[in-house]
Amino acid sequence: MTLRKSFILYVLVTSLCCSMAYAQKIQSYPIISPNGKIKLVFEYHQQAKIDSSASAEFDVYYLTNGKWAPILSDTEIGIATQKEQFKNLTLKSAGSVKRLNARYEMISGKRKLCSNQANESTCNFVNANGKALNVIFRVYNDGIAFRYEFPKWSDQPVHIEDEYTTFNIPAQTDRWVQAYDPGYEDFYPYSNNGKGEKSQEWSYPALFKHQEAPVWYLISEAGNSEFNAASRLVNNKDVNRYKISYSAGRKSFPQQGDISTLPWKSQWHTVMIGSLATVVESTLITDVSEPSRIAQKDWIKPGAVAWIYWAYNHGSKDYQKAVGYTNLAKTMSWPYVLIDWEWDVMGNGGKLEDAVNYAKSKGIKPLIWYNSGTTDWSKDTPVDRMRTRERRIKEFEWLNKIGVYGIKVDFFAGDQQDMMKLYLDILKDAADHHLMVNFHGATIPRGWSRTYPNLMSVEAVFGAEWYNNGDVMTNKAAVHNTTLPFTRNVIGPMDYTPVTFSNSQHPHITSYGHELALSVVFESALQHFADRPEAYYALPDAPKNFLKAVPTAWDETRLLSGFPGKYVVMARRRGAKWYIGGLNGQEDAKVLQFNLDFLNKKQANINIIRDGENDKSFKSQMQVWRKGQPVKINCLPRGGFVAVVE
């Protein structure tokens, strides 16, 4: 045989072998959102004649300009227990698509009336050992969600250790993602390469902008139960492949992942998809979460809070300071005062009970702070009154007796399963005792505000408290503040502790107009106004009266304009009034422009409070808006404004 014939034969045999190895049968199952704009296509790849292994993945498309634009491609699915792998799967059935259409009300958040409207389908698999796994897909008008489910195939507890779930992000995609931190207190820097400075582990939520279509998407998770550890994103093997990974164990709780009897369900993995306004206005996190478990809710009342800690770190152990902040709340018509850490050693004229009684005598409802007692590094007091149910119940009964209305619980140890259980146990026991809850040093919101509406706020943000800890916020605050409305605050309430006009340990250089606007731009059912009393007393009448009246819970929210890290204009409605807040995140003066045609009025009066001649002054004006005309407001560098539309 000649050399030429041998080479040809080699090529033919090689090609045939390759064709056989990669021959596969692909089964596709589309699910389209109720409004027809988002399509999820689940694909099952069955390799033919070679072996019986299989793989499963899905693609997501968005309808733009009459065409389906691919948004997420080849998203891998799968999960692993300590004894079983669910990666190479055999598809047993793909269920028919069914419509979900449920309405619910929120006491707090970006919208009062919400709709859990989606199309849902369940795919049933078995692994090589015949163990069953179900994957539930939902496609909403503003995103997609999916979760894993194990039916009962074992009488013993199962240890779910890891996921194979991986999102493939196109190279050069714009992204705003926070480096993972157990307290979620970091920035969301812009990147288009996916590289981290410290590691390749990332927190939720993660914001991405599609390069070729006018589409944004925000990845997070929701509906974590006591059987679900929280997860994070890891792209250490490929900067554009973000794999879901469970939190590593810690010294006092070495378990990674979940341990549960069967049946078991994972948390929901969520992706909000659409225009930037669609993402910001989305309620997907609460849509997929469990309905309220609290029957009587009339004791749950959002409101503004006077907060001692920012100006006086040890102020809560000083009775006179507690009195001063109670008087501030009374003067400003704020319903609450928060007495922070060290209240258990309060002196200088009175104890905690005296401060509580003084607040009640003024018609102000006191809230108090607790250390969760779960970390090995914080011994701030009072500590370890929340860790066990026996101690919690004893404490909550005492709080009911003396007249405390809510608790702030701080310093949680991480995102492991035991912490998820502790959060939910605190919420349940607090609800039983009609106590509202604010979590600090904590995980991000995961939809629990729907299940337990007494969850009023969560920190999980690099907030104004950091002016106490270093000078980094001084120069980064403006950009950070105009990034948070598109990232962290999208997924739930955010206790940033905003609106400061004086300085704490380190100065801020955002304008007074910028600071005032944070009361509208940032959403939190308990909005803790952080400055010292004299700073609020010294305000001109217009901003002072605005802070006396601004709501902390909303009937409707709209993003009017904005771009992460540059600027934002947010409108929120309470009753018949629209409150608008605008922030300039840039070093140059900017005209913030927006449209009010959604009001469906021919004209309206707008009362505006904006930057004055310098960054420490205001200018108030009334402007008549007419339909079809944009509203334009001049803002200083790092400036801002608020407006009220009757």
Residue type at 236 in one-letter notation: N
- Rounded CA-CA distance 600/237 in Å is 51
Provide the CB-side half-sphere exposure for 620 (13 A, CA).
11
Share of the chain above pLDDT 70, in %: 95
pLDDT tops 60 at residue 6: no
Instruction: Look at residues 332, 374, 326 and name the one whose alpha carbon lies nearest to residue 352.
Output: 326
Task: Report pLDDT for 47.
Answer: 63
- pLDDT band per the 50, 70, 90 thresholds, residue 51: very low
For the stretch 266-288, pLDDT in tens is: 999 999 999 999 999 999 999 99
Give, in order, the Cα–Cα distances in Å from 117 to each of 36, 42, 284. 12, 20, 10
- Rounded CA-CA distance 256/246 in Å is 7
- Rounded CA-CA distance 303/299 in Å is 12
- pLDDT band per the 50, 70, 90 thresholds, residue 46: confident
Q: Regarding predicted confidence, which is higher, 516 or 88? A: 516
Contact 418, 378 (CB under 8 A): no
* Average pLDDT estimate for 92-112: 96
- Rounded CA-CA distance 76/91 in Å is 15
- pLDDT band per the 50, 70, 90 thresholds, residue 119: very high
Alpha helices in 234-301 (DSSP H): 276-281, 284-287
- Rounded CA-CA distance 359/403 in Å is 10
Instruction: Look at residues 341, 286, 308 and name the one whose alpha carbon lies nearest to residue 523.
Output: 286
State the distance between the two ends of the chain, measured CA to CA, in whole angstroms: 92
Q: What are phi and psi of 378, to 5 degrees?
A: -115, 120
Contact 370, 437 (CB under 8 A): no
* Average pLDDT estimate for 54-73: 93
- Rounded CA-CA distance 645/577 in Å is 6
Task: Report pLDDT for 17.
Answer: 41
For the stretch 340-352, pLDDT in tens is: 999 999 999 999 9
For the stretch 378-435, pLDDT in tens is: 999 999 899 999 999 999 999 999 999 999 999 999 999 999 999 999 999 999 999 9
Tally the residues of the chain: 646
- pLDDT band per the 50, 70, 90 thresholds, residue 24: low
For the stretch 477-528, pLDDT in tens is: 999 999 999 999 999 999 999 999 999 999 999 999 999 999 999 999 999 9
- Rounded CA-CA distance 258/49 in Å is 37
Which residue bears the tokens 């960054």?
615
Average pLDDT value for the chain: 94
The alpha carbon of residue 7 and the mean position of all alpha carbons in its chain are separated, in whole angstroms, by 61
Q: Regarding predicted confidence, which is higher, 53 or 62? A: 62
Residue 189: count of CB within 10 angstroms of its CB: 17
The three-state (H, E, C) secondary structure of 557-603, written as one string: EEEEEEECCCEEEEEEEECCEEEEEEEECCCCCEEEEECCHHHCCCE
Domains and CATH numbers, the chain: 26-287 (2.70.98.10), 301-460 (3.20.20.70), 463-522+533-646 (3.20.20.70)
The three-state (H, E, C) secondary structure of 493-518, written as one string: CCCCCCCCCCCCCCCCCCCHHHHHHH
- Rounded CA-CA distance 366/349 in Å is 18
